[in-house]
Amino acid sequence: MDLLIVPVPLFNEENQVDAYMFKYSRGNTLLAAATDSIHLDGAMRSPILDAVATVGLEALTMGRPVFVPISKYALMAGPEANCAEAPEKIIFLLEAEAFRDEAARDGARRLRGLGYRFAVRGMAPDEAFLPALDVCDFVLHEQKRFGEPAQVKLRALIAETCPAMGNVYVGVDSMEVYQGARQRYKGLYEGRFYRTPLSEGGNKVSPLQVNMINLLNKIRGESFDFDEAAAIIHRDPALTVSLLRMVNTVGRRESGVEIKTINGAVVMLGENETRKWIMAAAANQLAVEKPTEIAKLSLIRAQFADALAGMFGLGEDRESLFLMGVFSVLDVMLEMPMAEALELVPVSADIKEALTGKTGKYGDVHKFLLDYEAADWDAASRMMILKDLKAAQIYKAYIDALCWYRDMLSQGDGTAGAPDSGRPAEGHASE
């Protein structure tokens, strides 16, 4: 599929992910007249719904509800025919201008009657846009698009006319802004704040984190001593359970055999794959006191980087690129600057250069990971041109990484091990 797609988490005031918002591009933005995630230019069918139907929300969002951008024309064409998920999982996102059309509002009312919900973006504090509030459940607040004065007026307008409306604040790019906003406003928050590196050091590493760092140091490099690594794993019941659950996903799928011991995991997987799974389990434990999205981000980056290795001419460096992905949020996990965090887990010069400056042998891969994750499609497209990469290749690599993460959290019976995914913070307008 010639689609670049990324599910972006939406956090509530409790620093937990309630929902996701899809951002996407129809292929390389610099080679074709791609349709972006804001203006859909009359598209009658949503490529996002096609992706959801193919892959499923369990892989894309761990089953949580998702904001799906569609056009006015797709709304009136009846998107439910292309929607394989339960209506309560889908929140259709449209531009405010679309709801000035009575036919579009009628279409939204019909779909709301089926259980779907709606969100509006591009809402200006103008009475001309008030009809949108009658059919929407959420309003996106976009300070970068309209400026703070307009957003203050919009919040006041919503509070006066539709106080039950759900609010989504986008572009929250620092933890300081998030901390201040969540104390003043109830709603959902999107932005880089949860993965922004800290500029100050001095944080004390917890005993659990020290144990995980010791484990990661033991399994790195050619002098891998499994007996030492196994001893560390066995000292931590949570890590043992996590690792065995992960490898049993592979074992049951490939051989139907349940693995009950760490030694059994090594026999089945081999040394290299065991090392990879231990890294994944240790990353989960390193971020245990952080939002689950941090560990998820680390591991999806790792698997995505692994898949990109051959495309970037680094096929022999897959394990190093996987490790780079695991450590790419080490500063956030340990709450210290990246250069300081990497002193605790000495890595190769190539990984250090990539993580501290996006330079060196792995710099292009790391930069591409970050650009893709941020939905900076122009920057990602430039790299795709330089490396002669096709959108279909990237789409498959990223979707495979999401599915790998979903399977890694499987309980072995096909159910995910993530927290229960219900409806996001309620928001609804009057009918």
* pLDDT, position 299: 92
Is 221 within a domain?
yes
**Domain co-membership, 43 together with 179:** yes
CA-closest candidate to residue 292, choices 118, 37, 64, 111: 64
**Domain co-membership, 229 together with 360:** yes
CA-closest candidate to residue 292, choices 18, 6, 13: 18
List helix spans (H) across 130-270.
Answer: 130-133, 143-146, 148-161, 175-184, 207-219, 226-234, 237-254, 262-269
Is 381 within a domain?
no
When pLDDT is cut at 50, 70 and 90, the band that residue 68 belongs to is very high
Q: What residues does 117 pair with on adjacent strands?
A: 91
Measured CA to CA, the distance from residue 197 to residue 17 in angstroms comes to: 19
Q: What is the CA radius of gyration of the chain?
A: 22
Q: What is the average per-residue pLDDT within 359-366? A: 96
Q: Which of these ranges, 9-23, 181-195, 258-272, has the smallest mean pLDDT? A: 258-272
- Which residues have CB under 8 Å from 126's CB, separation 6+? none
> Which range of residues forms the domain containing residue 281?
207-373
Residue 316: Cβ within 10 Å count: 9
More confident residue, 232 or 78: 78
φ and ψ of 26, to 5 deg: -80, 80
**Domain co-membership, 13 together with 133:** yes
Total domain count, the chain: 2
**In the chain, pLDDT over 70 holds for what percent of residues?**
86
CA-closest candidate to residue 372, choices 352, 389, 347: 389
**Domain co-membership, 65 together with 173:** yes
* pLDDT, position 235: 76
When pLDDT is cut at 50, 70 and 90, the band that residue 46 belongs to is confident
When pLDDT is cut at 50, 70 and 90, the band that residue 35 belongs to is very low
Beta carbons of 4 and 391 less than 8 angstroms apart: yes
**Domain co-membership, 110 together with 212:** no
Measured CA to CA, the distance from residue 94 to residue 115 in angstroms comes to: 17
Among 146, 164, 195, residue at a domain's last position: 195
**Domain co-membership, 262 together with 352:** yes
When pLDDT is cut at 50, 70 and 90, the band that residue 217 belongs to is confident
When pLDDT is cut at 50, 70 and 90, the band that residue 393 belongs to is very high
Q: What is the CATH number of the domain that holds 273?
A: 1.10.3210.10
**Domain co-membership, 181 together with 211:** no
Residue 419 above 60 pLDDT? no
More confident residue, 40 or 110: 110
Residue 417 above 80 pLDDT? no
When pLDDT is cut at 50, 70 and 90, the band that residue 124 belongs to is confident
* DSSP label at residue 389: -
**Domain co-membership, 165 together with 21:** yes
Beta carbons of 22 and 37 less than 8 angstroms apart: yes
- Positive or negative: CA dihedral 133, 136, 140, 145: negative
Decide: residue 56, CB within 10 A, 0-12 exposed, 13-18 middle, 19+ buried: middle
When pLDDT is cut at 50, 70 and 90, the band that residue 10 belongs to is very high
Is 407 within a domain?
no
Among 331, 352, 373, residue at a domain's last position: 373
9 three-class SS: strand
Tokens of 353: 């250069």
Is 178 within a domain?
yes
Measured CA to CA, the distance from residue 107 to residue 112 in angstroms comes to: 9
Is 416 within a domain?
no
Beta carbons of 232 and 214 less than 8 angstroms apart: yes
Beta carbons of 123 and 96 less than 8 angstroms apart: yes
Residue 360 above 90 pLDDT? yes
Name the residue with tokens 């951002």.
23
**Digit-coded pLDDT (tens) for 287-298:** 888 888 999 999
**Domain co-membership, 191 together with 232:** no
Tokens of 204: 């004390």
* pLDDT, position 241: 79
Q: What is the average per-residue pLDDT within 2-15? A: 94
Mean pLDDT estimate for the chain: 85
Among 329, 358, 373, residue at a domain's last position: 373
* pLDDT, position 415: 44
**In the chain, pLDDT over 90 holds for what percent of residues?**
48
Beta carbons of 417 and 411 less than 8 angstroms apart: yes
Measured CA to CA, the distance from residue 334 to residue 115 in angstroms comes to: 42
**Domain co-membership, 18 together with 156:** yes
* pLDDT, position 251: 56
More confident residue, 275 or 11: 11
Q: What is the average per-residue pLDDT within 247-259? A: 64
Is 30 within a domain?
yes
**Digit-coded pLDDT (tens) for 289-327:** 888 899 999 999 999 999 999 999 999 999 899 999 999
**Digit-coded pLDDT (tens) for 90-102:** 999 999 999 999 9
Is 108 within a domain?
yes
Is 394 within a domain?
no
More confident residue, 373 or 226: 373
**Domain co-membership, 181 together with 243:** no
More confident residue, 17 or 124: 17
**Domain co-membership, 184 together with 305:** no
* pLDDT, position 34: 43
When pLDDT is cut at 50, 70 and 90, the band that residue 64 belongs to is very high
Q: What is the CATH number of the domain that holds 26?
A: 3.20.20.450
